[in-house]
Amino acid sequence: MAKREFKNRLNNLYPKEWLKFQKSWFVHNPPPRKRGVLRHPAKYPETLAQEFIAFFTKEGQFILDPMVGTGSTLVAALREGRHCYGIELNPTYAAMCQQVIYEERKKLGNSADLLIAEVIEGNAADFPGIAEEFDIPLIDYVITSPPYWDMLHARGAKNQSKRRNDTNLDVHYSDSPEDLGNISDYDEFIDRLAGIYEALKPFLRERAYLTIIVKNVKKGGRIYPLAWDLGWRLSKTYVLKDERIWCQDNQRLAPYGMGNAWVSNTFHHYCLQFRNE
């Protein structure tokens, strides 16, 4: 019997590459961050974003990151031959992102000449107006990592804050009241964050995927199930299709609660996969 031809409507991967991505957990230890983007306190790696973009899109499609930071998603999209848009609230990070994109285009040469890679300084909560102003086409895929609530202000972040302050690096995203990372009330944070993603729905192609990289937060001796709460809330707007668990195994262990109480070293994130149906 002749082998049935493999028809791939989602991406340009071969069957073996597709199968590898279907593992529900994966280890990804990011390469060292470049000095130019060290200032951002919570950057996720271009190499990770690249794997997701390669799976959920085809060449020439449109990618959006509504909280783009210093540009990991846009760099990954350019490397994979996709058009991309990024929204960034902090003007300093938006300027960094512009520079990062400029440098990446130079590295890629002619292959990136026809690709859109646009950084828009603005508030993700205003995306409907931004989309109209900048004539953004229907989006084929969203990948983003929001603030993990206000954990950069939390007591447990003090040591990291001191180290970053000593080297003149940012310890939180911004001082703006519009910055979700500055909201202290958990329910308000969930409501405003989910509202941003819900408002994207009319601007996504039918059956487009949305990947949100997030983790649960420890604060005040308890855990707040941010990933699960966000998944539950957004499942009312999109179909929550699955999750992939990103593990890092190159982090130093700390003796939290030793001899007294169970406190884990949390080295995993949830990559929640939604689909616009």
In the chain, where the domains are located? 34-251+259-275
Tens of pLDDT along the chain (277 residues)? 566 777 899 999 999 999 999 999 999 987 775 655 444 445 678 999 999 999 999 999 999 999 999 999 999 999 999 999 999 999 999 999 999 999 999 999 998 999 999 999 999 999 999 999 999 999 999 999 998 887 766 655 445 444 434 444 544 445 777 788 888 899 999 999 999 999 999 999 999 999 999 999 988 889 999 999 999 999 999 999 999 999 998 889 999 889 999 899 999 999 999 999 9
Distances, alpha carbon 199 to alpha carbons 92, 130, 131, 194, in Å: 26, 12, 11, 9
Residue 88: per-residue pLDDT: 96
Q: Coil, strand or helix: which one is 274? A: strand
Whether pTM exceeds 0.75: yes
Assign domain 34-251+259-275 to its CATH architecture: 3-Layer(aba) Sandwich (3.40)
Tokens of 209: 């995927």
Contact criterion met (CB below 8 Å) for 247 and 215: no
Q: Which residue has the tokens 């060449």?
A: 59
Contact criterion met (CB below 8 Å) for 185 and 153: no
How far is 269 from 71, CA to CA, in rounded Å? 19
How far is 96 from 237, CA to CA, in rounded Å? 33
Residue 227: per-residue pLDDT: 96
Contact criterion met (CB below 8 Å) for 60 and 82: yes
Residue 171: per-residue pLDDT: 46
Strands (E), 131-171: 139-144
